[in-house]
Amino acid sequence: MSEQWEPTIQAFEQRDREAPPDPGAMLFTGSSTIVRWDTLADDFAFAPVLNRGFGGSQVPDLLAYFDRVILPYSPRIVVVYSGDNDLSAGRAPEQVLGDYAQLQRLIHADLPGALLVIVGLKPSPNRWHLAEAMCQVNSGLERWASETERTQVAPVWHAMLDEGGVPREELYSDGLHLTAAGYRIWTESLAPRLRGLWADHDQR
């Protein structure tokens, strides 16, 4: 377990002690793209949302802290964005896919009614050299999710490319993290899917 995240996790736990969140929310977690999404509550106003992202994290960090950043909240939907830090750190696409499969097993073993929605890896100018590996992860995730219960992948890749097939510069603040325009693209891609899943869950 990477100890570098311990202060962040402890801060989450302190916040929860001071203002315990209601169980059953739509939980967003993962790396810095989630951490910086400060308009979540407005962008997904049809459901209570909770942000438990921790910047720079990888999928193995979610595995290590599963019982502290996911399990305590009994979320109805778990939305995860993670994986490009993993590839940047040298992990192979097959390892990222295996880590996601392990995360899915953890979630559905302890939260059998929860839905897992994985946001597909985004293209970014600073990591364009990893585009082939990212596409391998995205296609692998989509194949796997199509055969896995209560698991979906929400792709964002093509919506973030220009007509020349490269990342749209205006969607990134520093070549990696998203601008407000980038988050609008994500919201447009995710909101209809998540709204439908939330409504379906209400009807069960």
List pLDDT tens digits, range 102-123.
Answer: 999 999 999 999 999 999 999 9
Going across the sheet that includes 49-51, the strands are 49-51, 26-30, 77-81, 115-119, 151-154
Q: Looking at residue 204, what is its pLDDT?
A: 59
Q: Which two tokens stand for residue 54?
A: 């921790």
Alpha helices (runs of H) in 22-128, residue ranges in sequence order: 32-35, 40-43, 59-64, 66-69, 84-88, 93-110
Q: Which residues pair with 27 in a beta bridge?
A: 50, 78
pTM, rounded to two decimals: 0.96
**pLDDT at position 1 over 60:** no
List pLDDT tens digits, range 16-73.
Answer: 999 999 999 999 999 999 999 999 999 999 999 999 999 889 999 999 999 999 999 9
Q: 57-85 as b/e, with b when 16 or more CB fall inside 10 Å?
A: bbbbbbbbbbebbbebbbbbbbbbbbbbb
CA distance 202 to 108: 19
For the segment(s) 3-196, the CATH number from 3.40.50.1110, 3.10.129.10, 3.40.190.10, 2.60.40.350 is 3.40.50.1110
